[in-house]
Amino acid sequence: MSQKVTVAAAHLTPVYMDAQATVEKTIEYIARAAEKDVEIIVFPESFIPGFPLWPAISAPIYNHGLFKRFAAQSLRVPGPEILKICAAARDVGVIVSLGISEATDHSVGCLWNSNLLIGSDGSILNHHRKLVPTFFEKMIWANGDGAGLMVSETAIGRIGALICGENTNPLARYAMIAQGEQIHISSYPPIWPTHEPSANDRYDLASAIRIRAGAHSFEAKVFNLVAAARVDHTAFNVLGEFGDEALRIIKESPKGVSMIIGPNGLPIAEARADNDQLLIETIDLEECVVPKQFHDVVGYYNRFDVFNLTVNRRSMSPAEFEGMEARTIDFEQLEASVMETDSGPL
């Protein structure tokens, strides 16, 4: 029996370092996706308020102002901005995967690189914080925990998500596969500068994405929805304070790629163009079944008497409080929580 799902990867640029404007753009593209009968839309890593590129191009002693600005534009979960996006998802009945920089009431300077899976009813199905910030990201974000290593059961299938370099972590990926994942979400930045762009050993983000995404799809026998962001003049205006040489590196560094990949590890569609677009395809989850006959790494193609994996999904916090709410929040609770904070309109 066919299990067809229309999916979209959002190959977009945020309004860099402007959370409110990017929230509005997110809502606009959720509506556009719904007009195309999309059932799930995937936004890039740290889409709100944009991916922090300055630690790659400038010494930490010159970055304090931008860190303060980034922290001020990072979102709380729950919060009024998240409520608006959840309401937009509910209004059109679309599942939304959203990358954000997350702030917390526990601290004015602690941030996480987070991904939210928002249900078609506006509820938060899963809230994942990237386990380990990669390379220069350590200057911005804290380590996450295992609480979000979840695969969510939805009307369109079982959905899991990992952020950027987590898709290189075989244990994190196996944790997703072991929960019966059918649709995997991979979110990425627009570029990831590690070397002089002309160097032979530069990091080619598009190639890295293709390798990682294809490998996970092939090993897990899942569809992989890959969303990478773009950079535009809004980012150049912010990062221009570091001078022409820094801007040259940003503009010439290899760009990311958005993709939809089948359970055979081969791409169905790809977007790398320098313009905002939704990459839309209809997939059939029935295609995940037959490949499991050959390699089912969480079934008969494993030796559970030889290998064992334990995943700690305990939510970490600076203190333990009785009655703490779980990260799964239905829309009514989310709306009530935001109203109680009296944080005002966006």
Which H, E and C letters describe 240-277, residue by residue?
HHHCHHHHHHHHHCCECCEEEECCCCCEEEEECCCCCE
Does the residue 139 lie in any domain?
yes
CA 42/CA 279 separation, integer angstroms: 10
Q: With 50 as the cut, is the pLDDT of residue 292 above it?
A: yes
- Has residue 346 been placed in a domain? no
Cα 190 versus chain centre, distance: 12
User: Does pLDDT of 342 surpass 60?
Assistant: no
Centre a 10 Å sphere on the Cβ of residue 118 and count the other Cβ atoms it contains.
28
**228 domain residue, yes or no:** yes
Given this model, what pLDDT does residue 73 score? 98
pLDDT of residue 272: 83
How many structural domains compose the chain? Answer: 1
CATH number at residue 140: 3.60.110.10
Q: How confident is the model at residue 344 (pLDDT cuts 50, 70, 90)?
A: low
Mean pLDDT value across residues 315-328? 72
- Say if 45 falls within a structural domain: yes
* 112 located within any domain: yes
Over the stretch 176-206, which tens digit does the pLDDT of each residue have?
999 999 999 999 999 999 999 998 888 899 9
Domain for residue 239, yes or no? yes
pLDDT of residue 346: 47
Tokens describing residue 230: 């773009």
The pLDDT of residue 52 is above 80: yes
Domain that holds residue 183: 4-341
> What does the pLDDT read at residue 324?
56
pLDDT in tens, 142-159: 999 999 999 999 999 999
Point out the residues that are catalytic.
Answer: 45, 130, 164
Angle at 99 between CA 68 and CA 130, to 5 degrees: 80
Report pLDDT for 2.
Answer: 66
Is residue 269 classed exposed, middle or buried when 0-12, 13-18 and 19+ CB atoms within 10 A define those classes? middle
